[in-house]
C-alpha cells in the first residue's frame, strides 16, 4: 500500500544549499578566468531554474480533500534535466512507465547492452550530438548484425530486432562519463507466411559474441577516424571555441580532477580507500574490452517480468545525482556516496562546494537534445512498430491506475486517436508507482484530493502566502562574496 505523500522542502536539501550559497561566487570565478565570457546561457539557466523549483513564491496549485476540506499548496517544478533531483526523479518514473506500458512488448525478453567509450572520445561526444549519434549508429548497427546473424543460424531470414537507447552523460563519481545503455528485444521478429508477426528468441550471447561486437564497433570507428580522438586539441575543439570555461570543466570532470581553485588538477578526497589494496583482475561473464571500448551484456530480463523491467528502465533514465547521496560535513564540504564501493574500498568522495559545482556543470545537456532513442522495429517510422508496441499496450491496459488529478503545470501530450489514455503518466500515478507515495491521499482523513486551481499571478501568490503565514521569499542565488575570483 502506498504511503502518504510528504511535500518536500527544497531549502533544506544539501544540493539546494550548495547552489544557492556558492553559485554566484562560482560564476564570478569562471568569468574572471575567461575574460567575462563565462559559461553558456543554457548551463547557468539550469542552475537558476533549480533554485526556483518547489518554491511557493513562484507559483503553486491548490489541492483540496473532497471529504474533510483539508487544503495543501503544491509548488511548481522546474523540469530541469540535470541538476534537480526531484524533477529528474519524476522524469525517470515517467519515461520508465512509458517504456514498459507503451513500447517494450510484454511477451518478449530484453537484454541490456552497455557500451562505454575511451576517455578521449567521451569529451568530444559530450556536447557534439551529431557525433554522438554517429557512434551510437555504429553500435546499434553492430548489435543488429549480431542478432540477424544469430537468427540466420536457425533459418530465420529477414528477422529484425528492436532497441531503446538511453544516452547517459554521467558516472557514479559525478563525472562526465558518456556511455550508451541499450535495451534490445532479445531475439528477432519475423513476418510469417500467413501474415502474422512472430517473435523468435535467440540463444544467449557468448563471451566471444560480446568480444566480436565490441571489436566491430572499434574497427568501424577507426575507419571513421574517431577511435583515436584526443582530448584537448584546442585548434580543432569546437567546444573550446564556443565556451572555453565549459571545455575546461568538461576535460577536468572526465579525468576526475578539479579545474579551479587551490586544488586544481587534483581529484576529490576518497573515504575508505586503501592505498595498498591490490588490483585483482576478475572475469565477468559477457564483458569485453577492446582499445578503450567496454561492452557488457549480462543483464537479461525474462519475458513477462514487467516489475524488474521497469526497475531497469528507471536505472537507465535516472538523474545524475540523487539527493540521498549527498551529506554536508562539519567542515562545510560535501560528501557524495558511491552507488558501489570501488576496488580500493572507496565508499565516498568529498568535494568542496565549488568543486561539486564544477562537476555538475558539464552534466547539463544542450537544450532540445533527445537522450532516449529508438531503433529497429521500435524506431518511430518502422513498418512493424505499431504491431510490436501493441503487445506492450495490451498488457498495460489491464492495470487500473490510481485516481488522477495532476497540477496544471505538469507536462501533457495529446492522446492518440486510438486510445483515450494520455501519452504521459499523471503526476499522482508516477509518484505512487515509482516512490510508493500516494500524492492525492488526504493526510487527515485518507480521502481523495483534487486540484482546485493553479496560482501564477505574483500579487495573488503573495496575498495567499502571507495570509497562511508562509514564506514569500523567492529564493535564488545569494550575492557573490567580495574577492571571490
CA 306 to chain centre: 20
Number of H helices, E strands in the chain: 13, 17
Grid coordinates of 175: 563525472
Report how far apart the first and last C-alpha atoms of the chain are (Å, whole number): 52
pLDDT digits (tens, 9 = 90+) for 422-443: 433 455 565 555 555 567 788 8
Question: How far is residue 307's CA from residue 302's CA, in Å, rounded to a whole number?
Answer: 11
Within 10 angstroms of residue 154's Cβ, the number of other Cβ atoms is: 13
Q: What is the pLDDT of residue 407?
A: 41
**H-helix segments, 336-482:** 353-360, 385-396, 427-435, 458-467
pLDDT under 50 in the chain at which residues? 1, 230-234, 398-425, 485
Give pTM, 2 decimals: 0.86
Q: What is the pLDDT of residue 414?
A: 34
- The angle formed by the CA atoms of residues 52, 57 and 63, to the nearest 5 degrees, is 105
Nearest to 176 by CA among 239, 254, 231: 254
Within 10 angstroms of residue 205's Cβ, the number of other Cβ atoms is: 21
Q: What is the pLDDT of residue 476?
A: 80
Q: What is the pLDDT of residue 426?
A: 56
Question: How far is residue 358's CA from residue 256's CA, in Å, rounded to a whole number?
Answer: 11
Q: What is the pLDDT of residue 483?
A: 54
Question: How far is residue 484's CA from residue 66's CA, in Å, rounded to a whole number?
Answer: 53
CA 103 to chain centre: 18
Within 10 angstroms of residue 290's Cβ, the number of other Cβ atoms is: 18
Percentages helix, strand, coil for the chain (3-state, rounded to 5) are 40, 20, 45
Q: What is the pLDDT of residue 3?
A: 57
Q: What is the pLDDT of residue 277?
A: 72
Within 10 angstroms of residue 242's Cβ, the number of other Cβ atoms is: 12
Domain parsing of the chain, residue ranges: 3-84+399-467
Amino acid at each position: 500500500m502506498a504511503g502518504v505523500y510528504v511535500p518536500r522542502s527544497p531549502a533544506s536539501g544539501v544540493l539546494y544549499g550548495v547552489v544557492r550559497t556558492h553559485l554566484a561566487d562560482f560564476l564570478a570565478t569562471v568569468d574572471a578566468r575567461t575574460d567575462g565570457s563565462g559559461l553558456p546561457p543554457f548551463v547557468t539557466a539550469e542552475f537558476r531554474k533549480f533554485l526556483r523549483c518547489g518554491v511557493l513564491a513562484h507559483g503553486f496549485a491548490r489541492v483540496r480533500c473532497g471529504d474533510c476540506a483539508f487544503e495543501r499548496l503544491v509548488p511548481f517544478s522546474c523540469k530541469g534535466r540535470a541538476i534537480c533531483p526531484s524533477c529528474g526523479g519524476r522524469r525517470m518514473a515517467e519515461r520508465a512507465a512509458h517504456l514498459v506500458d507503451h513500447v517494450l512488448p510484454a511477451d518478449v525478453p530484453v537484454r541490456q547492452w552497455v557500451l562505454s567509450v575511451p576517455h578521449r572520445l567521451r569529451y568530444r561526444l559530450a556536447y557534439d550530438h551529431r557525433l554522438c549519434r554517429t557512434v551510437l549508429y555504429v553500435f546499434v548497427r553492430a548489435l543488429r548484425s549480431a542478432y540477424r546473424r544469430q537468427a540466420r543460424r536457425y533459418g530465420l531470414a529477414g528477422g529484425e530486432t528492436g532497441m531503446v537507447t538511453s544516452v547517459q552523460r554521467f558516472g557514479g563519481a559525478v563525472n562526465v562519463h558518456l556511455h550508451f545503455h541499450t535495451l534490445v528485444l532479445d531475439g528477432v521478429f519475423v513476418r510469417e507466411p500467413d501474415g502474422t508477426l512472430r517473435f523468435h528468441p535467440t540463444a544467449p550471447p557468448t563471451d566471444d559474441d560480446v568480444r566480436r561486437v565490441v571489436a566491430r564497433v572499434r574497427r568501424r570507428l577507426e575507419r571513421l577516424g574517431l577511435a583515436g580522438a584526443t582530448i584537448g586539441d584546442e585548434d580543432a575543439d569546437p567546444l573550446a571555441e564556443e565556451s572555453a570555461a565549459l571545455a575546461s570543466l568538461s576535460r577536468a570532470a572526465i579525468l576526475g580532477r578539479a579545474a579551479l581553485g587551490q586544488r586544481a588538477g587534483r581529484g576529490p578526497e576518497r573515504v575508505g580507500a586503501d592505498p595498498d589494496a591490490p588490483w585483482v583482475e576478475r572475469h565477468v561473464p559477457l564483458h569485453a574490452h577492446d582499445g578503450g571500448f567496454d561492452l557488457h551484456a549480462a543483464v537479461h530480463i525474462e519475458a513477462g517480468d514487467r516489475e524488474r523491467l521497469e526497475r531497469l528502465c528507471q536505472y537507465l533514465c535516472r538523474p545524475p545525482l540523487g539527493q540521498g547521496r549527498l551529506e554536508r560535513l562539519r567542515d562545510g564540504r560535501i560528501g557524495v556516496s558511491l552507488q558501489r564501493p570501488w576496488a580500493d574500498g572507496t565508499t565516498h568522495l568529498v568535494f568542496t562546494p565549488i568543486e561539486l559545482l564544477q562537476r555538475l556543470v558539464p552534466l547539463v545537456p544542450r537544450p532540445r537534445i533527445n537522450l532516449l532513442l529508438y531503433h529497429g522495429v521500435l524506431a518511430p517510422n518502422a513498418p512493424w512498430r505499431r504491431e510490436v508496441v501493441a503487445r506492450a499496450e495490451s498488457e498495460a491496459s489491464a492495470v487500473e491506475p490510481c485516481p488522477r488529478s495532476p497540477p496544471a503545470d505538469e507536462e501533457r501530450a495529446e492522446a492518440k486517436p486510438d486510445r483515450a489514455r494520455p501519452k504521459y503518466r499523471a503526476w499522482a500515478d508516477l509518484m505512487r508507482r515509482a516512490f510508493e507515495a500516494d500524492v492525492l491521499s488526504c493526510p487527515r482523513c485518507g480521502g481523495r484530493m483534487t486540484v482546485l486551481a493553479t496560482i501564477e499571478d505574483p500579487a495573488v501568490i503573495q496575498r495567499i502566502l502571507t495570509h497562511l503565514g508562509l514564506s514569500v521569499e523567492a529564493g535564488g542565488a545569494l550575492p557573490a562574496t567580495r574577492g571571490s575570483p
